[in-house]
Amino acid sequence: MSTVVARSDLARSILSVYGIITWASVIIGVLVFVVLGWILLRFRDRPGGPLPRQIHGHALLEIAWTIAPALVLLIIAIPTIQVIFRTQGVAAPPSALTVTVRGWQWWWEFRYPTLDVVTANELHLPVGRPIVLNLEGPDVIHSFWVPQLGGKRDVVPGRVNQIVLTPDRVGEYWGQCAEFCGASHANMQLRVIVEEPAAFDRWVAGQKAPAHEPIGDAVAGKELFARHACVGCHTIRGMAAGALGPDLTHFGSRALFGAGLWPTTPDNVAAWIKDPPALKPGSRMPNLGLSDADAKALAVYLISLK
């Protein structure tokens, strides 16, 4: 979550400039405060004292304290420009993995076009490999932000914004939408899982596999899913092809759901299915008036979709 912990080349570039600017700012700030403090102590009025010397100005001083800040700004400007051009608008290397990120109200869709994988809210990336994130959106402006992997970039309907980065440390990173996008803006989070290439390949294989057939308790849930409005919005490859909500084909493989909000447990999922707007204000997924039993059955089914 911290913006000063860097886990990618992009984040490190940013941090290098961040450090320079922070130091410069702190030094200047301390200087000003020390001078101000000293002035306030030294030049207190002694009642009945004479008027101080009525000085109107000093040209050389003006020049000096115009040039000094300009020099400090130069120190900040140069690395700024360098990092801007190093991190933006550069062609990604051919080995890069491309991911299409679509920001919806209020969840994240991830498509890996070269791998034929579609998932939601949990982004898996192989460590050490360049990644190109193409940001698009069908509804309002969102902003994709995973602090430890780099700065944010807006999802702007009508254009494709791009983030290019190479994650360099295995781990789990939290992200959140960073552009006010309506009622549940606060509830639009995501998880990024950076893993070793072998682990990533295993994950990809699992995502490409067809949906698991339910067994035992999960069977009832599948029938409920097919019967209710679920199929209108969600995709479960092989039985439903809705395109308005997250792809659920491997819902159970995701540790958190609801856009990074709750652990994927039967009780949590059942509570969500029963009354989404109560948990996520403004949610486009309506309260379908399901009974507790039905909601639980659906939950069990979805969690079985590993």
Q: Which residues within the stretch 121-140 sit at the binding site for another protein (CB under 8 A)?
A: 135, 139-140
**Touching another protein, residues 176-205 (CB under 8 A):** 176-186
Q: Please select the residue that binds another protein; options are 1, 226, 243, 255, rule is CB under 8 A.
A: 1
**Touching another protein, residues 35-74 (CB under 8 A):** 35-36, 39-40, 43-46, 49, 51-58, 61-62, 65-66, 69-70, 73
Cα distances from 227 to residues 66, 151, 251, 254, in angstroms, run: 73, 43, 19, 24
Binding flag, residue 93, another protein (CB under 8 A):
no
Shortest distance, position 165 Cβ to another protein, whole Å: 12
Binding flag, residue 159, another protein (CB under 8 A):
yes
Size of the site for another protein (CB under 8 A): 84
Binding flag, residue 152, another protein (CB under 8 A):
yes
Tell me the DSSP string of 157-185.
TTS-EEEEE-B-S-EEEEEE--S--STTG
| SS3 (DSSP) at 217 | coil
Q: Please select the residue that binds another protein; options are 7, 8, 9, 14, rule is CB under 8 A.
A: 14
**Touching another protein, residues 237-296 (CB under 8 A):** 261, 281-282
Q: Taking a C-beta distance cutoff of 8 angstroms, is the pair 152, 178 a contact? A: yes
Taking the least distance from each CB to another protein, the nearer of 174 and 237 is: 174
Structure tokens at 4: 């000063």
Helical H segments across 114-246, by residue range: 197-208, 218-227, 230-233
Examine residue 23 and say whether the peptide bond preceding it is cis (omega within 30 degrees of 0): no
DSSP-derived pairing of the beta strands 189-195 and 122-126: parallel
